[in-house]
Structure 1
Amino acid sequence: MSTESGPAAAHGRSSEHKAAQRRAVRLEWTTIAVLLVTVAAVYLVSGQSQAMKVAWIEDSLSLLPPIAFLIAARVAHRAPSSHFPYGYHRAVGIGHLVAGVALLAMGLFLVVDSGSGLLAGERPPLGVVEIGGQVIWVGWLMVAVMALSCVGPVILGRMKAAPAETLHDKVLYADADMNRADWKTGIATIVGVLGIGMGLWWADAAAALVVSVSILRDGWANVSGAIQGLADARPTRFDGTDPHPLVHEIDEVLDGVDWADDHGARVRDEGHVFHVEAFLVPADGQQVTVEMLAAVRRRLTDLSWKLQDVVVTVVAEVHDTHRPS
């Protein structure tokens, strides 16, 4: 059996990975700064509007993914220890789960709260305010703040997509996806506020319900993806859609081993990196040496820096679950 793990296996990190990591950290700190300003602004003009209250809560919850990413990014790169022999890469998945559970719980609460407000026929009063000697309807301030609050997160969300793919970071991708969808929250809230101004008392609660369902959907998607990762499901792309290409590339390398009659592999998503257990069935009469296994291991680790921990061994037979779908 031949193994490789730790820093020696992460040979490709010096350029692409480190650059993407630095860019992601900068973007997340920028996101936190933008969200803090947004949360304060929305709170100041929210009044008694249910839609504005829900938008404020969503903006506050949007702080969770970037905070989870920054904590996980710091913890994940610690060296393995005797107590954590696989390292701390699972911190990424744990951060993903924590953020997802918070979103899911708050989404459920807000759906019930908004729905009950709609059924009860609550009519939020929106008054006026005097600014510079001019009397202005509070609703216009709400509309202006919500319109401006959408711009930063949407731009930042698009900028995070590339490093999320490079790092294979599902927390960062989930954060980017939520940011890119913020314009929907803004539009729903604006429609609700304008509805109040037009005398449509139900528009505010309906808009709040729409935003609440969006939070609930984000929470469910994040919890589902995080649980699958922590439960060692077959690795998928950073967006959780298709099987990760490395799964098939590993199979192609093993298929090219001329002294083996059959092969298979188990690939575990540890967060940013993968743990690989490769199995080879030697041909009849073939004597396998440590050098032969080490050569296969090197070919696998050369595929990507993501293959952080690789084990290559010989077996009598390969189970069907060890083959790519």
Structure 2
Amino acid sequence: MHQRLSAGQLATGSILIALAVMGLKTAAWMMTGSVALLSDALESLVNIGGAVMAWFAVRYAQRPPDADHPFGHHKAEYFSAVAEGILIVIAALVIVHEAVNALGRPAAAEWGTAGMVVNAVAMGVNLAWARVLLQAGRRLHSPALSAGGHHLMSDVWTSAGVLFGLVLALTTGWAVLDPLLALLVAVNILREGWQVISGSVNGLMDTAAPEGERTEIEEIIHSSAAGALQVHGLKTRRAGRALFVECHMVVESSMTVQEAHDICDRVEAALRKGFPDAQPVIHVEPEHKLEPAGIKPR
């Protein structure tokens, strides 16, 4: 069912899920007083902020091109992902502060199991929704949804580590494990924040399409540009869902404009069939522009 949901609907769902998980984790912390569970709940607070930003970014990115933004608004999702990464880093610093304070006054490891069960339920909800977002992010080429999915997946591993450590603390009576676990949580969150920020900045820097997509684009051109002598100078870039493809197509000097235009139309149609959000630009050149290397159509 989730495969039929739009990016906007998934972004709305992320807000609702983040609120529910935050409520569960806060309840778990209040039932136990564990600093590690508090750190887990603080990370969920970041999830809410990230989900809200993604909701706005996804809707803004779907706006059609206008006079001020002729190439569309697709990159808005990257700004959302960068902002979420910054929030992740801030949350990690707050957790470090709480954990360091707790190291000087570790409480007795007398937590009940009820709070940990509640936290485990929250972890299960996060795991299910993270998988939904990761699949949707790949399907829709949405940086905002992918960033949210990776963040939630990190949250799942954090929760699993916290629960394992608290069980160990209960078993051994070593209360110092609680703030130490919180510090480990902070390190994991910092790593996740860095990955989200760096990945989104790459998108803002017009990184080329993934290697697999470039290979598929070359094959599409190879099989659809019959009548041309060569295609070279292929450039690609991803901007959220949009895929920009530029290339130079060499034709015989005697070919009419209409014949060359027909080949361009055929190549563009084939690219859009393989990549519905492709925006190709083809520059036609005469045969003396042949390059030593390029794509030779069939």
User: 2:127 aligned to 150, 154, 157, which one?
Assistant: 154
Check 1:149–1:37 CA distance in 2 against 1; reply closer, same or farther (3 A cut). same
Matched, 1:76 2:61: yes
Q: CA deviation at 1:28?
A: 2.0
Q: Deviations over 1:159-184 (max 9, x none)?
A: 33332221012321232233334342
Q: Which structure exhibits the higher relative contact order, with contacts defined as CA atoms closer than 8 Å and separated by 6 or more residues?
A: 1
- Which blocks of at least 5 consecutive residues in structure 2 are unaligned? none
Q: Which residue of 2 aligns with 1:140?
A: 113
Q: Which protein has the bigger helix share?
A: 2
How far apart are the structure 1 equivalents of 2:74 and 2:120?
Answer: 38
Is the Cα–Cα contact under 8 Å of residues 126 and 153 in structure 2 kept in the other structure? Answer: yes
**Which 10-residue stretch deviates more, 65-74 or 313-322?**
313-322
Offset of residue 222 of structure 1? 0.6
After superposition, the C-alpha distances for 1:35-74 in whole angstroms (9 at most, x for unaligned) are: 3422442453353x32122112111112233223211221
The residue matched to 1:163 in structure 2 has which SS? helix
Distance in 2, matches of 1:269 and 1:17, equals 22
The match for 1:189 is 162
Q: Note if 1:59 corresponds to 2:64.
A: no
Residue-pair matches, total: 286
Partner SS state of residue 35, structure 1: helix
Query: Counterpart of 1:302 in 2: which secondary structure?
Result: helix
Alignment of 1:1-325 (within 5 A): 19-21=5-7, 24-25=10-11, 27-45=13-31, 47=33, 49-108=34-93, 110-111=95-96, 114=99, 116-117=100-101, 121-126=103-108, 137-197=110-170, 198-236=172-210, 243=211, 245-256=212-223, 257=225, 258-283=227-252, 286-288=255-257, 289-307=260-278, 309-315=279-285, 316=289
Between the aligned partners of 1:216 and 1:99, the Cα distance in structure 2 is: 12
Q: Secondary structure at the match of 2:274?
A: coil
Unaligned runs of 5+ in 1: 1-15, 128-136, 237-242
CA RMSD of aligned residues (A): 3.1
1:87 alignment partner AA: G
In structure 2, give the amino acid aligned to 1:205.
Answer: P
Deviation at 1:90, TM superposition (A): 0.9
Conserved? CA contact 2:242–2:277, under 8 Å? yes
Between 177-186 and 144-153, report the one with greater CA deviation.
Answer: 177-186
User: 1:89, CA displacement in angstroms?
Assistant: 1.0
Whether the aligned pair in 1 keeps the contact of 2:107 and 2:175 (CA below 8 Å) is no
CA contact (8 A) 1:192 1:203 kept: yes
What letter is aligned with 2:228? W
Q: Distance in 1 between matches of 2:94 and 2:16?
A: 29
| Cα contact 2:57–2:144 (8 A) shared by 1 | no
C-alpha deviation, 1:231, in angstroms: 0.3
The 8 Å contact of residues 51 and 192 in structure 1, kept in 2 or not, is answered as no
More displaced stretch, 217-226 vs 103-112: 103-112
Alpha-carbon deviation of 1:303?
A: 1.9
Alpha-carbon deviation of 1:112?
6.5
Q: Which secondary structure does the structure 2 equivalent of 1:96 belong to? A: helix
What is the rounded CA distance, in whole Å, between the counterparts of 1:260 and 1:19 in structure 2? 43
- Partner Cα distance (2:167, 2:25) in 1: 21
2: CA distance, partners of 1:217 / 1:249: 33
Change (3 A) 1:152 1:263: same
Partner Cα distance (1:291, 1:74) in 2: 36
Shift of 1:104: 2.8
For residues 173 and 213 of structure 1, do their structure 2 counterparts lie closer, same or farther at Cα, with a shift above 3 Å needed? same
Contact 1:266–1:278 at 8 Å: present in 2 too? Answer: yes
Give the aligned residue type for 1:185. T
Q: Give aligned-pair identity as a percent.
A: 21
